[in-house]
Amino acid sequence: MLDIKFIRENKDIVIAGAKKKHVTVDIDQLIVVDEKRRELQAKIDDMRAQQNVASNGIASAKSDTERQEMITRMQSLKETLRLEEESLQSILKEWRGLMVQVPNVPDMSVPDGDSDADNLEVKTWGEIPKFSFEPKSHSELMVENGMVDYERGAKVSGFRGYFLKDDGARLLWALERFVQDRFMNREGFTPMVVPSMVRRESFLGTGYLPQSEEDLYKTQDGEYLAGTAEVATMGYYMDEVIDKKQLPLKFFSYSPCFRREIGAHGKDVKGIFRVHEFFKYEQVVLCEAKHEESVRLHETLTANSEALLQELKLPYHVVVNCGGDLGLGQVKKYDIEAWMPSEKRYRETHSSSYFHDFQTRRLNIRYRDDDGTLKFVHSLNNTALAMPRILCQIVENNQRADGSITIPEVLRAYMGKDVIEKRH
């Protein structure tokens, strides 16, 4: 959420930012409603002050007649105040509804564009493999090697259901142990296992509600199932004041994740690239309210994910997301996409974003600066590892002519072998 004072004073910038993100919100109406809110709040504050004066006057009245006159006036004032407070609640409801629709202002370096097709490549790494044969898809390879069972997955779990088994399960667990070893020993990161069933407040705070509600699973008790460990991790310090000396706070968070994938029907229907239930390790950072610090940490988190792909020897590129491919709260976002030989294109494995105080203002996460003022911290997040998706790129890039799969060198000690041999 943006500061309403910032919105009032920088209306044109906010409108331009919403336009760049292709978000429809009536900023002029918000300012009109905000003016009503401020006027009514000032009126209510004045009436409450009058109440206090009247209460003191009643206590010091010199006669019963004078006291009764004051009580009568106070009762009238009390009723008027009650009606004004009801009006304020109605205005506040409209005000909050408009406020949560206002997107964060994207960084000047964010390119214009409508969708991910307009994202701008800023870096490539690694050699795209050249095969002497037509490469198979991960779906074919994993079925042929007994690593996955889609039919029984659909029978048990429904559309996009899957069972990872044998070397499919072993490869996923090897990846987990590899990433845990890399990140849990990384300086400054606190490892956490976080809830995947989360109350509405954290989804509102992180910006996934109300805009993305249709893509979330909801329980009969009102909680939601998170699609990323970011949601619960950001709720950890909700409504708290953090000691500045603790900043930056860095978390390496894990949770099962769930997404309905509304709007993705017909996309990636085969294989494990796009599924309803998956697992994620997430980097989440809270830092001082300085743009330069957010930018520095954004590059650091992105480099962490790049290092992981480099160790796995997966060719990838980094794109900066265009305005139309940014979420409501993101100031800037990188997607890291690894090569998919069967599709002859890069596909996303990681995303890296910073938000300034958009999320923390909603979640009320603050720190006291050196001059004593309370400030909202800045927040960032970045995928450390999303599974089983990354198995797609690992399997495809390491396939051999006979259908066997070479295990990346850094995973061999965890797997106990060098090759997943083709089943006959």
Q: Which two tokens stand for residue 180?
A: 């845990």
Among 37, 14, 36, 35, which Cα is nearest to 101's? 14
85, 343, 348, 421: the catalytic one is 348
Q: How far apart are CA 205 and CA 224, in angstroms?
A: 13
Q: How far apart are CA 209 and CA 193, in angstroms?
A: 23
**Is 274 among the catalytic positions?**
yes
259, 347, 361, 362: the catalytic one is 259
CB-count burial class (<10 Å; 0-12, 13-18, 19+) for 337: buried
**Is 348 among the catalytic positions?**
yes
170, 182, 366, 389: the catalytic one is 389
Contact 108, 115 (CB under 8 A): no
DSSP state letters, 283-301: EEEEE-S-HHHHHHHHHHH
For 373-398, give one letter per residue: b (16+ CB within 10 A) or e. eebbbbbbbbbbbbbbbbbbbbbbbb
**What's the number of CA atoms in the CB half-sphere (13 Å) around residue 389?**
22
37, 186, 274, 296: the catalytic one is 274
Contact 77, 54 (CB under 8 A): yes
Q: Which two tokens stand for residue 42?
A: 């000032």
How far is CA 115 from each of CA 111, 320, 321, 335, 336, rounded to the nearest angstrom? 11, 12, 9, 13, 16
Helices within 158-225 (DSSP H only): 167-184, 200-206
Dmax of the chain from CA atoms?
A: 106
**Is 389 among the catalytic positions?**
yes
196, 351, 352, 353: the catalytic one is 351
Contact 325, 118 (CB under 8 A): yes
> Residue 65 carries which side chain, given as an amino acid letter?
T
95 phi and psi, to 5 degrees? Answer: -60, -45
Backbone torsion region of residue 207, taken as left when φ is above 0, otherwise alpha when ψ lies between -120 and 50, otherwise beta: left
Identify the residue whose tokens are 């995973």. Answer: 411
Active site residues: 259, 274, 348, 351, 389
